[in-house]
A and B are shown apart, each in its own frame.
Chain A
Amino acid sequence: MTVITGLGIIAPNGLGTERYWDATLSGRSGIGELDRFDTTGYPSRLAGLVRDFDAAQYLPGRLLPQTDICTRLALTAAGWAIEDAGLDTAAVRDYDMSVVTANASGGFEFTHREFRKLWTRGPEHVSVYESFAWFYAVNTGQISIRHGMRGPSCALVTEQAGGLDALGQARRTIRAGTRVVVGGGADSAFDPWGALSQTAGGRVSADPDPATAYRPFDTRAAGYLPGEGSAILVLEATESARARGARAYGELAGYAATFDPAPGSDRPPGLGRAASLALADAGITPAEVDVVFADAAGLPELDRSEALALRELFGAGGVPVTAPKSLTGRVFSGGGTLDVVCALMSIRDGVIPPTFGTRSVPAEYGLDLVLGTARQTRVDTALVLARGRWGFNAAVVIRSVEKGS
């Protein structure tokens, strides 16, 4: 059995778990104007940006020249998670600690600068750090080095499903015999090239109003907003957590991943199947689920597809559904993990955060979407869903320790 004993959060609307959770419940948004460069002509200028994060405050100076912002976010959040877990890494055998991170766009801003140096000044100006600051495995490697973790480790890329897939892989690693896994996701790509690239493919909202641009499940939903951030957790074998007297926020009780049929196929999409498989994996029925943290794509077709999958599984209005990510934008690999943190906080505090921005939900969706204000209710079991572009689906079941297996 795998429990979660530490949380490290850097979200557009809050640094640290408590500030993020408070913002999530009270509706403090991290969505704002992208002001890091001149965005004239860019199809979208809004994003969930981390504004009050000074990496130098949290990381040794020698790590700054060699890291992209996504790695600074990942390293800092991992450090906070380990501290939160009260884990003395020196007291655990190095091979009993692993790192599993998800990442989608690598060290994008870092590499953009190196591309520019190469093409304007020549190859001899390219940084000695480029070979590893760019690639998708960088966060796993850097966390492993900083904390002396030498167990089975990896980096996954499944676009925005990555944060949940990393947690699933962390549990797999624990089941195979590792005591502690630091796992989650981190992403950031808001330099001029990264920000523009994110708009390719037409799924980002062009609505210029930060309050309405990303309103999942709304009748007027018109796309999502991208975000940056990091959510890294400490996952641990129950016996390990118990032996060292650690507090467990909850259990990672179920996980599953599926993939949608090829475009143009008349076969049904796979999100509902991922949800069913995760519930079965946790050994529970839909009736036992107290809240669903939805993927909440913010595009009518995808919102509808998710709503119908939930209706099929839970019945119309059968379960409270929410999407706090409208306050952060979609934080790519960090997004699913952020929702897992919300689920753990919902269990702790007996409250479901609302979906801000969304006002009217089509009746045919059959959704009990938590709107307006937080809903006070006992939460023991949460289902968290995430989808990645091209067809990735992931589902995680989080349970309170009391209800856990």
Chain B
Amino acid sequence: MNRRVVITGMGVRAPRARGRDAFWELLSAGRTATRRISFFDPSPYRSQVAAEVDFDAAAEGLRPAEIRRMDRATQFAVVCARDAVADSGLDLATVDPHRMGVSLGSAVAAATSLEREYLVLSDSGRRWVMSPDQLSPHMFDYMIPSVMPAEIAWTVGAEGPVAMVSDGCTSGLDSVGHAVALIREGSADVMLAGASDTPITPIVVACFDAIKATTTYNDDPAHASRPFDATRNGFVLAEGAAVFLLEELDAARRRGARIYAEVGGFANRCNAYHMTGLKADGREMAEAIRAALDEARLDATAVDYVNAHGSGTKQNDRHETAAFRRSLGDHAYQTPVSSIKSMVGHSLGAIGSVEIAASLLAIEHQTVPPTANLEVADPECDLDYVPKQAREHRIDTVVTVGSGFGGFQSAMVLTRPRGQGERP
């Protein structure tokens, strides 16, 4: 079966950016959404900066019962899925429920609700053995996160394959890659796929403090996320979600759908090196990029823009730069590379999907979003990172990449379909 898969709808909830248009407005203006943490008092923590989403569940149309039972990350995911369906213009009544599936990514899923319930059940940590009379009926839903794709399936009426893909910080790329594979092999015709994470909660902040992975620019939150800058000192934790509607190319054309892009290729590899560490040579990410380009039948020279993982840790940005040089060769030096984490932070499992959304919008607007806060060049990071200001650029092909704990390295190739908005 030679089925091609395209993205025809998207829903995004990013820090200080509700919906697709606000998201692009923030990115193209080079504005940052990183601030001092407001969800709790961050003063006992090493890193006190995060990128929070302004989210009003009731105003987003969720019913009181849904708000009570769903974790915040699930709420984000459901709202984004609804947006993706509306944005696609696809009338779900015309889709056979058996042929529709869901693939959702998340790294730490219901962390916020887990921590809240933990504090209740343990009397703020004082009890090791817990009080059964304090048990929430929804505790099981927070413990086992596959409830998240289930909620989307109920929302859209999907009865085909449904799964959570939880590959740490590459979840948001891998979940969409999984959806593409299901459509290509014929297991589904329509997939809702994306990712959501809402990790701004004390336990998650503390676990990254412990390994000094997050920034300590607590006095300058708006400029704390500094991918590829010589003064970078860690990532900025964020929350967010993006969900897409994917369908088969011919079906999308038949219904006259607006096509954001075709997913030309996807690949992931493991570094089998360390759960959190990266080798400087970028070997496995480079292999993933090459494999994704092969699948898309494109040469490295076809790449117009690289949407980087660019987390702003010392090791990541060096690793990734090496991976781009290794996979794209000299073309790496002629290709704009940027990290939107400079503006919206790192929402763990969600960010891969949020970055797919940014890549689709970059294609739509023929504009590369910038790397904000990039002031001081790092000799080890010697590519064109599009500092501070968005740049108009012809973009037919984007490579977007991710790197995550567990050693996961993922790459996706997004291409503008022929005949759609092509320039002479």
Interface residues of A, Cβ cutoff 8 Å to B: 37-38, 41-43, 66, 94-95, 98-99, 103-105, 108, 111-112, 114-116, 118-120, 122-124, 126-128, 130-132, 134-138, 140-142, 144-145, 147-159, 162, 165, 172, 176, 189, 192-194, 196-201, 256-263, 267, 270, 273, 332, 388-392
Contact = CB atoms under 8 A, between A and B. Distances in A.
A156 B105 CA distance: 9
A126 B210 contact: yes
B143 A198 contact: yes
B193 to A, nearest CB: 14
B45 A123 contact: yes
B166 A122 contact: no
Contact of A200 (B136, B150, B284, B404): B136
Most buried by A among B119, B129, B139: B129
Contacts, number: 256
B288 to A, nearest CB: 9
Interface string B319-362: 00000000000000000000000000000000000000000000
A155 B143 contact: no
A154 to B, nearest CB: 5
B52 interface: no
Interface of B: 44-46, 97-98, 101-102, 107-109, 115, 118-119, 121-122, 124-126, 128-133, 135-147, 150, 153-154, 157-168, 171, 174, 178, 181, 185, 187, 202-203, 205-211, 213, 267-276, 284, 287, 404-408
Contacts of A132: 168, 275-276, 405-406
Given A37-B129, A128-B210, A198-B140, A118 B165 contact: no
B275 A141 contact: yes
A126 B203 contact: yes
Nearest to A152: B268
Contacts of A148: 272
B135 A200 contact: yes
Nearest to B150: A390
A273 B99 CA distance: 12
B129 A192 contact: yes
A66 B143 CA distance: 21
Nearest to A270: B159
A382 B287 CA distance: 38
A42 B131 CA distance: 8
A119 to B, nearest CB: 3
Contact of B162 (A108, A152, A194, A257): A257
Contact of B168 (A111, A118, A135, A390): A135
Contact of B143 (A99, A120, A197, A390): A197
B162 A391 contact: yes
Contacts of B211: 128, 131
A38 B209 contact: no
Contacts of B142: 197
Contacts of B276: 131-132
B207 A42 contact: no
A162 to B, nearest CB: 8
Most buried by B among A114, A198, A262: A262
Nearest to B348: A135
A153 B167 CA distance: 9
Contact of B406 (A144, A193, A258): A144
B126 A138 contact: no
Contacts of A108: 143
Given A156-B166, A157-B163, A259-B159, A390 B147 contact: yes
Nearest to A202: B137
